[in-house]
Chain A
Amino acid sequence: MSEIRFRGVGKHYGDVEVITGFDLRIHDGEFMVLVGPSGCAKSTTLRMIAGLERITSGELLIAGKRANELLPAERNISMVFQSYALFPNMSVRENLSFGLRVRKTDSATVASEVDRVTGLLGLGDLLDRKPRQLSGGQAQRVALGRAMIRKPNAFLFDEPLSNLDAELRVQMRGEIIEMQRKLSTTTVYVTHDQVEAMTMGDRIAVMNKGCIMQLGSPTELYRRPANTFVAGFIGSPRMNLLEPGDLLGDCDPTVGIAHDRTGKLGIRPEHLLVESDDGAVPIGDARVTRIEDLGHEVLIHLRNARGTSLTARTGGRIAETVQSGQTVSLALRFDCLHSFETATGERLT
């Protein structure tokens, strides 16, 4: 258990700057989620914590001590690799117990720990298989088991559930959270999955091009995204980001919301109302271009008279009546509106 702290960390591959001036403090026992588009250096960040990637500049502190020069083995960290990284010549059982065996754990403890993890992850039938005889999902579970069998200073997960089916994913999500709460081990978790990011993390760091765009609790990021990048990245389907005038031109009721006319507006799909509602301001008509019925909710894709594309999310009765090609009137609530400066993308209010 230990705090992990980046102080002005930079990472170059030759001339390519992948990370610059990276500052992040992951508290002892915290579950930190890293999200961001592909190639934004999430894996690189994890690998620096694990000691697999040399840090070019700045300082990495683990439990308050400088860790830049520590060997991976000296950090006592568990990692689930994006590519599983199982040992190809060893059986599942040997893969699971490798970390304990190199630490000279007695064989009774090894056996009981293997049993525990096997039960937890449902690997019972696979213990004597070799990695090449496993499906992607099975291999991923073995990789999880290999990380969870030890009691490390920190867990690092690099998209550990990406290859599991929906049901198993929900189940494993629960297992990981439960295990983390029970052991309260510092955890850094990389994911692409919105639901994982929102439900698992104590805090989320949204990354882009090697920088942190915003750091905060899931609710904070959702309710008050600090910039257009986070606004667009967190939430699925993504927030409608509009130039003023995209709705009704000069008589656009939203114009006044932005402090100047160059501000951008953000409306979450669930705040764009297709049915009239008390206290909602009408913002004109739009044509329905496509409907996605997900069962528990309906996504309605629209295009208004100014050619602006919009997405609305509704769970209401309207879903049963609305049809593609139909024209509906839109409305929104002012208190749910986000506004961002056009030039920098920073939040205005």
Chain B
Amino acid sequence: MTYEIKSIGSSAFWFILPCLFVLALTSLYPIAFGFAVSLTNWNWGVQLDFVGLANYVGLLGDSEFWTVIKNTVVFAAAATSIEIALGFYLAVQVDKLSIPTDLIRAVIMLPLMISGIVVALMSKVMFDPFLGVVNYLIGAFGFGPSAFYGAALTAMPSIIAVDVWWQTSFVFIIMLAALRGLPKDPIEAALVEGASNFTIFWRIKLPMLRSLLITVVVIRAIDTLKVFDIVFGTTGGGPGLATEVAQTFVYRTAYSYQQIGKAMATMILFSLLILAISLALQGLRQRWEADK
């Protein structure tokens, strides 16, 4: 069902204007300011020269920048897909249970209530090569101890695992509510028509959930692309550049090296990346909506 407003009087524009003005001031000004700074070599001090696109050219030609972008995208893609798959799977399984599921829901939701830096701290202790319970456990199964955050090969998977532990319940909660809210009739009709539960899931339920699922993917993708706390609190971007992501890179550039212009340029480039990814997912959703 679509409701269309047939004609909007031009007076409506004048009503919206003050609101637009405030929005412009609060959201456009900082962005414009950031962009302006990205064209300088400001060092938080007296050095402030216009350098044109030098920061951008420098970044795009810098292999470190590309490693950072790759790390960020790898982290976001892996964490988002595992969280979506796992959270949705859990929701489908819990939805099938005919017993009251309040307790299960509460337990699965617990990680979501903890702040990122606390999650980082807890995982750092648990993954500690010498003191950590995780190494103790894998040792009990006969495997050698792993350095986890300390080794280039295992650092990124460890951070992904922590984010999955932390955020999967977000997907779970939303998808469970959506599954519970699906209209019963079409599902019953499909049962009578002789469809198996497998068919009903893929042909009836999933299509009805598709656009919500994409929305959840968009939210998780943006959130994971902007990851900071759990990287900062565990590896700090190391070892080497193994887990350096956009936010930690910008943090280091701005606060350790005082290269504010370069940091801002990174932010602008990174924001464009997020924008592109969100628009692509949004486009996908609109195609599906139109098709519905």
Contact = CB atoms under 8 A, between A and B. Distances in A.
Contacts of B204: 87, 89
Contacts of A98: 190, 193, 195, 203
B292 interface: yes
A102 B194 contact: yes
B194 A99 contact: yes
Contact of B191 (A52, A78, A86, A87): A52
Question: Interface residues of B: mostly helix, strand, loop or mixed?
Answer: helix
Nearest to B188: A52
B209 to A, nearest CB: 10
A83 B208 contact: no
Contact of B292 (A72, A86, A89): A89
Measured as residues with beta carbon below 8 angstroms from the partner, the interface class of chain B is: 10 to 19
B199 A72 contact: no
A98 B190 CA distance: 8
A150 B189 CA distance: 14
B143 to A, nearest CB: 45
Contacts of B52: none
B192 A72 contact: yes
B116 to A, nearest CB: 37
A130 interface: yes
Contacts of B1: 132
A150 B192 CA distance: 12
Interface in B211-228: none
Interface in B143-192: 183, 185-186, 188-192
Contacts of A90: 203, 207
Contacts of A161: none
Given A79-B189, A81-B188, A98-B190, A89 B195 contact: no
5 closest A-B pairs (Cβ-Cβ)? A85-B185, A89-B207, A85-B189, A99-B193, A72-B191
Interface of A: 50-52, 71-73, 76-79, 81, 83-90, 98-99, 102-103, 130, 132, 146, 150
12 contacts: A52-B192, A71-B191, A72-B194, A73-B192, A73-B195, A79-B192, A85-B188, A88-B292, A89-B208, A99-B194, A102-B193, A130-B292
